[in-house]
């Protein structure tokens, strides 16, 4: 504890008059909200911890969701309407981490976004698309479980056709909301730690 307290003045001196934006590449500066200029740089240790955690979550997601998709594709008896929704969730979560994890790891190493404005928008678009798809898929799963548990035999059973329609609506709805910032309704920008991009809330 004593050594940690001793380092605080050194860090304060090191980061005096610096902001979290100082590491940002010049071609990204037009995307930075003025709000972030008041904050000091994030401690490099936190970038390392964040990269490690994201890497672990990526491996867990790739393995877990990959196994679900593989087993479903190989086992005909599991291809029920309800399981279609579960596989759609696994698909969305799998590709979320396939796309997001490598970029985040590299940016944590560099302590800022290094892939330029276009990739920032595409990264944020992918995160929003797969995130929205996962959320709405969980809503459909909850609705299906409600129908089975509460209504029981009196409820209308979920069919393959209806499950596929729900999945289509999930992806269309997710795509519509995530395309809007690409065409000027709001925008995608670097987030506060400058290692990821997302919606400009």
Q: 32 in a domain, yes or no?
A: no
| Residue 10 belongs to some domain of the structure | no
169 assigned to some structural domain: yes
SS3 191: coil
pLDDT in tens, 70-117: 999 999 899 999 999 999 999 999 999 999 999 999 999 999 999 999
Q: How many domains is the chain partitioned into structurally?
A: 1
In the predicted model, is pLDDT for residue 160 greater than 70? Answer: yes
Q: What is the pLDDT of residue 128?
A: 96
Please give the residue range of the domain that contains residue 64: 42-199
20 within a domain of the structure (yes/no):
no
Query: pTM for this one?
Result: 0.84
Buried b (16+ CB within 10 A) or exposed e, 78-109: eeebebbbbbbbbbbbbbbbbbbbebbbebbe
Q: Is residue 15 part of a domain?
A: no
pLDDT (tens digit per residue) in 167-183: 999 999 999 999 999 88
DSSP string over 134-174:
HHHHHHHHHHHHHIIIIIGGGSPPPPHHHHHHHHHHHHHHH
CATH number of the domain that 58 lies in?
1.20.1070.10
């Amino acid at each position: 504890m004593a050594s940690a307290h001793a380092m605080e003045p050194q860090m304060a001196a090191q980061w005096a008059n610096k902001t979290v934006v100082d590491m940002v590449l010049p071609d990204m500066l037009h995307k930075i909200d003025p709000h972030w200029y008041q904050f000091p740089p994030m401690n490099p240790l936190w970038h390392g911890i964040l990269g490690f955690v994201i890497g672990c979550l990526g491996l867990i997601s790739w393995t877990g969701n990959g196994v679900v998709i593989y087993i479903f594709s190989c086992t005909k008896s599991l291809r029920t309407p309800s399981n279609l929704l579960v596989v759609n969730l696994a698909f969305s979560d799998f590709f979320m981490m396939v796309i997001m994890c490598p970029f985040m790891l590299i940016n944590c190493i560099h302590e800022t976004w290094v892939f330029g404005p276009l990739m920032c928008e595409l990264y944020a678009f992918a995160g929003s698309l797969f995130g929205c798809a996962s959320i709405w898929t969980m809503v459909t799963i909850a609705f299906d479980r409600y129908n089975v548990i509460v209504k029981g035999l009196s409820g209308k059973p979920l069919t393959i056709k209806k499950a596929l329609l729900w999945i289509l609506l999930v992806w269309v709805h997710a795509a519509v909301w995530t395309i809007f910032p690409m065409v000027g309704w709001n925008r995608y920008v670097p987030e506060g730690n400058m290692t990821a991009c997302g919606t400009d809330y």
